[in-house]
């Protein structure tokens, strides 16, 4: 056991950049997948809606930790070597796409049906109708819950430590194994998460209140 030094604290704090980078990659990947899921959930083709619903139920109904394990170990069965970074990005992106897809599906369905009917009367097919008429109106509704989910995603990256990805939680575990100062070390990690997530939570609530006032 050794003394906890400034270099150890710096190592933990610098690992925060990997937490933020993983969150960004997973949010972008989840956003792309979530848009596809939302479009499938609101599509006119019934089997496509069922497929999207099954995807959502699968990823919302199973633990994120298990999904990360599968993303890390399953490719190895087929002889594909996946590093912890790639596995964490894939697992979190797939999970995020299920939640964002459902959030955005709800935002799309809040848009008055008359808007879509008017676009249909102008002979717009499904995709042009969605991207030119419905989605621009749904975006404003979807922003607050999307930011709220981003907060959950940032905190969820801590589970990537279980497959060996060195983000801030894993860095804290490594230092704690050597210095054994759990209260100080993990208190610092909790403070770092708080300083990142708290402003986002306030922003989300402010946007939600502003949206509620604007809709009255």
Go through 92-112 and write b for each residue having 16 or more CB atoms within 10 A of its CB, e for each that does not.
bbbbbbbbbbbbbbbbbeebe
pLDDT for 195: 95
What is this structure's pTM?
0.91
Q: How many helices (H) and strands (E) does the chain have?
A: 10, 0
Contact 88, 18 (CB under 8 A): no
What is the C-alpha separation between 38 and 55, in angstroms, rounded? 11
Exposure class string for 38-67: b at 16+ Cβ within 10 A, else e: bbbbbbeeeeeeeebbebbeebeeeebeeb
| Assigned superfamily of 6-215 | MetI-like (1.10.3720.10)
DSSP for 31-52, please give it: HHHHHHHHHHHT-S-HHHHHHH
pLDDT, tens digit only, all 216 positions of the chain: 678 888 999 999 999 999 999 999 999 999 999 999 999 999 888 999 999 999 999 999 999 999 999 999 999 888 888 999 999 999 999 999 999 999 999 999 988 888 887 888 877 887 888 888 888 888 888 988 999 999 999 999 999 999 999 999 999 999 999 888 899 999 999 999 999 999 998 988 887 777 665 555
Residue 188 has a pLDDT of 95
Q: How many Å apart are CA 140 and CA 205, to the nearest integer? A: 14
pLDDT score recorded for residue 215: 55
pLDDT at 111: 87
| pLDDT at residue number 213 | 52
Is residue 168 within 8 Å of 12, Cβ to Cβ?
Answer: yes
């Amino acid at each position: 056991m050794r003394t906890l030094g400034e270099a150890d604290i710096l190592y933990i704090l610098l690992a925060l950049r990997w937490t933020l980078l993983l969150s960004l990659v997973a949010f972008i990947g989840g956003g792309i997948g979530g848009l596809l899921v939302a479009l499938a959930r609101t599509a006119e083709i019934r089997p496509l809606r069922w497929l999207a619903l099954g995807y959502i139920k699968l990823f919302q109904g199973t633990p994120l930790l298990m999904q990360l394990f599968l993303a890390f170990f399953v490719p190895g069965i087929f002889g594909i070597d996946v590093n912890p970074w790639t596995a964490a990005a894939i697992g979190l992106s797939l999970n995020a796409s299920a939640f964002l897809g459902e959030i955005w599906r709800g935002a799309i369905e809040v848009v008055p049906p008359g808007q879509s009917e008017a676009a249909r009367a102008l002979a717009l097919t499904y995709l042009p109708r969605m991207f030119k008429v419905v989605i621009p109106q749904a975006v404003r509704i979807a922003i607050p819950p999307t930011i709220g989910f981003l907060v959950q995603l940032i905190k969820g990256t801590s589970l990537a430590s279980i497959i060996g990805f060195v983000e801030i939680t894993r860095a804290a575990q490594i230092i704690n194994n050597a210095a054994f100062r759990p209260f100080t070390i993990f208190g610092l990690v909790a403070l770092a998460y708080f300083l990142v997530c708290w402003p986002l939570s306030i922003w989300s609530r402010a946007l939600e209140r502003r949206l509620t006032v604007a809709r009255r």
